[in-house]
Structures are given as C-alpha cells and as structure tokens.
C-alpha cells in the first residue's frame, strides 16, 4: 500500500470544501447551488405541473423527471458537446432513482415535477453534487419529502479507503475504485450505489461505513442552506409586509 498521503493533503475521511445555497434562481419553484471542491451544481425545480406528453401521466401519483447536463466548458479536459449525451441521460436516470424514495407525490396525480441540474464547473463527484443540489431544490420548492437525500463518492486508492475522491485520485496510476453513494438521512438507506473500478469485500464495507459519515456532513450543509433561506424569507416578509 503506497497511497498514504492524499494528493491534496486531506485526511482520508475529509471532504473537499463545500458550499450550499437555496433559492438561487428566482423564476424556479425551488432552486439550489451546491459546490464541493471545484465541482459546482445548480438545480432548479418546476412543478408539480401538468404532464406532457400525456401518455407519461400516472393517475395514482405524480412523477419526477431529472435533466442533467454539463456546460460545454465546465470540464478540465476537452470541450463537452452541448445537448443530450448517453452519459447525461444515464445520470438523469440515476438521479431519479436516488430521489424517488423520499418524494411523496400521491396528492399530485397526472402531474410532473421537473428537476434541471446544470454543472458550470466539474472536477469529480458530479452526480453526487447534482443529487445533493436537487434534494435542496426540492425542499426549497415545498415538494413533500419523507427524508433528505445526501450524496458523496467514496472508494479506495491503491488500497486506502477515502471519502470524496478528487479528479487526481480517480485517475491515480494504481488500482482505484470510485463509489458514488446517495443515502437517506433518517433511515440510512442507500438510494444510489454505483462502482467504477475494483475493490475487495472488506474495503467495500469500510467504504460504505465511511459513506455514512461523509453523507452526514453533506446533510448538515443542506439543512443549513435551507434554514438560511427560511430566515431570509421571514426577514423579508417582516420588513416588507406590503409584499405579502
């Protein structure tokens, strides 16, 4: 085992610096900004609203639709082609599966909640940042939720289990595994678990234990962003009663 010191000097359980803010897009029903390291996700929620095309409608409950995209110059490598790609469609589907367990849309049959996530800047952990941003935006929109979803990548680099792999660690010249995990806060149920690379059973168990700790840090930031939004809204109402 040679990977004993992380490339950016972090401890093995330490996440990159994070920032989160709710209510950043005025025309959306709910929105959020979520940054982790150099990865930045912006989420906007619209709905519940009438679904189109009609054949997608569910008469028993509403549905969610995720739309994930990276801006053309967001990556550190080659320019990303605009429009839908196989990767963006796959991550959109993964986001829906990660968020669906906590969203209660039984009061909104034949309707849809659309979640748009754009990434102006990317540097590892994009799908996890997108899910964390989307969860804040859903709460900001007042969509009924039974729990909060928080996501972060864990894994191992040359035998060392770490949290929140950086781009440099993902491409480290050794055996590396990158495991995006989304977790429900209260139940600790996993709503997303993917893996790229190789890992032993023991290291996988250790990674998932580390994910519990790491997603809790994301959760605390999500709640802080929503509380700040609530306080700001209340102050505005108190200071401008004529707007109410």
Calculate ∠ Cα 199-163-179, nearest 5°: 45
Cα–Cα distance measured from residue 39 to residue 235, given in angstroms and rounded to the nearest whole number: 31
Confidence of residue 74 (pLDDT cuts 50, 70, 90): low
Task: Tell me: pLDDT of 16 over 90.
Answer: yes
Cα–Cα distance measured from residue 4 to residue 41, given in angstroms and rounded to the nearest whole number: 30
Only one residue has tokens 């191992």, namely 156
Per-residue pLDDT, 86: 83
User: What are the distances in angstroms from CA 120 to CA 6, 14, 45, 179?
Assistant: 26, 24, 17, 23
Right CATH number for 18-230 from 3.40.50.300, 3.30.230.70, 3.30.750.24, 1.10.150.20? Answer: 3.30.230.70
Bridge partners for 50 per DSSP:
111
- Asked whether the beta carbons of 126 and 164 are under 8 A apart, the reply is no
pLDDT in tens, 37-54: 999 999 999 999 999 888
Confidence of residue 235 (pLDDT cuts 50, 70, 90): low
Neighbours of 146 (CB within 10 A): 11
Per-residue pLDDT, 64: 96
Confidence of residue 88 (pLDDT cuts 50, 70, 90): confident
Mean pLDDT, the chain, as a whole number?
90
* Closest C-alpha to 133, from 151, 147, 145, 146: 151
pLDDT in tens, 173-219: 989 999 999 999 999 999 999 999 989 999 999 999 999 999 999 99
Per-residue pLDDT, 242: 62
Confidence of residue 79 (pLDDT cuts 50, 70, 90): very low
Tokens of 182: 């989304």
């Amino acid at each position: 085992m040679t990977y004993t010191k992380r490339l950016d000097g972090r401890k093995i359980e330490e996440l990159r610096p994070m920032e989160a803010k709710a209510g950043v897009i005025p025309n959306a029903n709910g929105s959020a900004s979520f940054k982790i390291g150099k990865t930045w996700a912006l989420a906007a929620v619209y709905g519940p609203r009438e679904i189109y095309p009609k054949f997608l409608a569910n008469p028993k409950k509403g549905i969610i639709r995720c739309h994930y995209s990276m801006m053309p110059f967001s990556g550190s490598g080659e320019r990303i082609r605009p429009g839908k790609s196989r990767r963006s469609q796959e991550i959109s589907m993964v986001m829906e599966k990660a968020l669906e367990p906590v969203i209660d849309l039984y009061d909104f049959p034949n309707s849809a909640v659309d979640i748009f996530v754009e990434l102006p800047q990317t540097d590892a952990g994009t799908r996890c940042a997108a899910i964390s941003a989307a969860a804040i935006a859903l709460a900001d929109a007042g969509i009924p939720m039974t729990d909060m979803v928080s996501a972060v990548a864990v894994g191992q680099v040359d035998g060392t289990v770490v949290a929140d792999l950086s781009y440099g660690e993902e491409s480290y010249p050794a055996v590396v595994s990158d495991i995006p995990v989304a977790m429900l806060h209260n139940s600790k149920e996993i709503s997303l678990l993917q893996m790229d690379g190789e890992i032993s059973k023991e290291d996988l168990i250790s990674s998932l234990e580390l994910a519990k700790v790491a997603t809790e840090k994301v959760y605390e930031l999500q709640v802080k962003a929503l509380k700040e939004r609530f306080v700001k809204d209340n102050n505005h109402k108190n200071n401008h009663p004529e707007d109410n």
